């Protein structure tokens, strides 16, 4: 008799579950979270609004007020609509599902955000990843050759890129937008930490979609992301969205916090200053390379990344070891920028770890 697990698609059985490191008791500098809680006044207001919300009813399936708030808060140009997702991960999945015709493919760069590949494959799209150059800039000739060869239904580019932290040259992105027969999704998950954005390009390029999330801004726990772009395209994608994908609580929290955005703006300004301070402190350590970052994390290269990772963990600090993530990331660690005292702890522990390695 066949095993019940044989009912599961072979490619699914061959997969590994998405790994989330156990951070119990550790200082969590591994997941690009904002380290600051919301201020007390805003939390009190949230408490009141959440107490009044109706949990016996299904959530608003098309929250027009929240969309309008997001559009003005983010500066989405007139003429573009929004598709809201339970995190931007869900939006990547919707795009991949919608485009998964036989033979269709998703193109991205390597190293990039791993969900591009994972969701392409789980939705039945072929995945192609074009390696970045050693300094993590875009290899435009290789991208254009891959576009020509694979005719991708969609290209995903995160800017700033995760896990490298850099932006790609805008003129290279323009060339790609003009050369590709398909869609280009620019993933701006780290938009709070950079002054660059492609939202302003939406009216000019009908094949461009810009994706953002509230996660890195400071609301990773509520799961809210959006895709901005041409209404006709979003209307098609919206047919694959589950009807009640944003909970009542998510909608209440997002509306309350975005109506009083000053608190998050101050936190972001502090994190941007801390990014500079942390980079300047780390660059002074022996045998370390600190890559420039426009995001809320720093990518660094050290002589023995697994050892530095372990020593930091012994000091109660969890970061991300990327040593085996990609050949271009040999020796690399990704460190989320934390609160000032957290960054001090990281600097002290990494100083010890690298002195020890000396
Ligand atoms: C963190 C991250 C996301 C995930 O965002 P969610 O809205 O939390 O699902 C998307 N893209 C990139 C590049 C990220 O680093």
Task: Say how far apart CA 52 and CA 314 lie, in whole Å.
Answer: 45
Same-domain pairing of 219 and 108: yes
- To the nearest whole percent, how much of the chain has pLDDT over 90? 97
Q: Is the pLDDT of residue 357 over 60?
A: no
Label residue 19 by pLDDT band (50, 70, 90): confident
Please report the atom of ligand 1 found closest to the CA of residue 224. Answer: 7
Closest Cα to atom 5 of ligand 1: 88
Same-domain pairing of 251 and 214: yes
Question: Ligand 1 mean position to 213 CA, how many Å?
Answer: 7
Task: Say how far apart CA 59 and CA 57 lie, in whole Å.
Answer: 6
Same-domain pairing of 246 and 272: no
**What per-residue confidence (pLDDT) applies to 333?**
98
- Here the CATH number for the domain that contains residue 135 is 3.40.640.10
Question: Ligand 1 mean position to 306 CA, how many Å?
Answer: 25
Please report the atom of ligand 1 found closest to the CA of residue 220. Answer: 8
Question: Ligand 1 mean position to 256 CA, how many Å?
Answer: 22
Chain centre to alpha carbon of residue 199: 16
Q: How many domains does the chain contain in total?
A: 2
Same-domain pairing of 158 and 177: yes
Q: Is the pLDDT of residue 356 over 90?
A: no
Does residue 172 lie within any of the structural domains?
yes
Same-domain pairing of 23 and 160: no
Task: Say how far apart CA 192 and CA 214 lie, in whole Å.
Answer: 9
- The pTM assigned to this predicted structure is 0.97
Label residue 172 by pLDDT band (50, 70, 90): very high
Q: Domain boundary at 259, 291, 325, which? A: 259
**What per-residue confidence (pLDDT) applies to 2?**
79
- Can you tell me the mean pLDDT for 25-46? 97
Question: Ligand 1 mean position to 323 CA, how many Å?
Answer: 21
Host domain of residue 151: 53-259
Does residue 86 lie within any of the structural domains?
yes
Label residue 203 by pLDDT band (50, 70, 90): very high
- Comparing C-alpha atoms, which of 98, 82, 87 is closest to residue 228? 82
Question: Ligand 1 mean position to 84 CA, how many Å?
Answer: 14
Same-domain pairing of 9 and 105: no
Q: Domain boundary at 259, 294, 318, which? A: 259
Please report the atom of ligand 1 found closest to the CA of residue 158. Answer: 13
Q: Domain boundary at 226, 259, 292, which? A: 259
For ligand 1, mutation pick of 30, 86, 162 (most atoms within 8 Å of CB): 162
- The model's pLDDT over 266-287, given as tens digits with 9 standing for 90+, comes to 999 999 999 999 999 999 999 9
């Amino acid at each position: 008799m066949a095993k019940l697990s044989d009912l599961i698609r072979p490619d699914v059985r061959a997969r590994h579950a998405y790994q989330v490191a156990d951070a119990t008791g550790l200082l969590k500098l591994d997941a690009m979270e904002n380290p600051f809680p919301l201020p007390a006044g805003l939390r009190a207001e949230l408490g009141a609004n959440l107490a009044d919300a109706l949990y016996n009813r299904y959530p608003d399936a098309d929250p027009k007020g929240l969309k309008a708030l997001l559009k003005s808060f983010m500066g989405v140009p007139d003429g573009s609509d929004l598709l809201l997702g339970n995190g931007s991960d869900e939006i990547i999945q919707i795009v991949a599902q919608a485009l998964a015709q036989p033979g269709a493919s998703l193109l991205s760069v390597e190293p990039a955000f791993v969900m591009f590949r994972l969701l392409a494959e789980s939705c039945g799209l072929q995945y192609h990843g074009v390696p970045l150059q050693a300094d993590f800039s875009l290899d435009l000739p290789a991208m254009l050759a891959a576009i020509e060869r694979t005719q991708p239904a969609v290209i995903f580019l995160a800017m700033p890129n995760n896990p490298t932290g850099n932006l790609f040259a805008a003129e290279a992105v323009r060339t790609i937008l003009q050369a590709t027969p398909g869609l280009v999704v620019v993933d701006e998950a780290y938009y709070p930490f950079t002054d660059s954005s492609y939202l302003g390009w939406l009216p000019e390029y009908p094949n461009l979609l810009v994706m953002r999330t509230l996660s890195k801004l400071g609301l990773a726990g509520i799961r809210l992301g959006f895709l901005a772009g041409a209404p006709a395209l979003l209307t098609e994608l919206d047919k694959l969205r589950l009807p009640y994908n944003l909970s009542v609580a998510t909608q209440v929290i997002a509306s309350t916090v975005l109506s009083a955005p000053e608190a998050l703006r101050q936190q972001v300004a502090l994190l941007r200053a801390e990014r500079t301070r942390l980079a300047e402190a780390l660059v002074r350590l022996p045998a370390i390379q600190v890559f420039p970052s426009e995001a809320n994390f720093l990518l660094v290269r050290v002589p023995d990344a697994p050892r530095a990772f372990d020593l930091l963990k012994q000091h109660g600090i969890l970061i991300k070891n990327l040593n085996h993530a990609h050949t271009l990331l040999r020796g690399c660690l990704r460190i989320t920028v934390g609160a000032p005292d957290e960054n001090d702890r990281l600097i002290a522990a990494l100083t010890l770890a690298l002195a020890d390695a000396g």
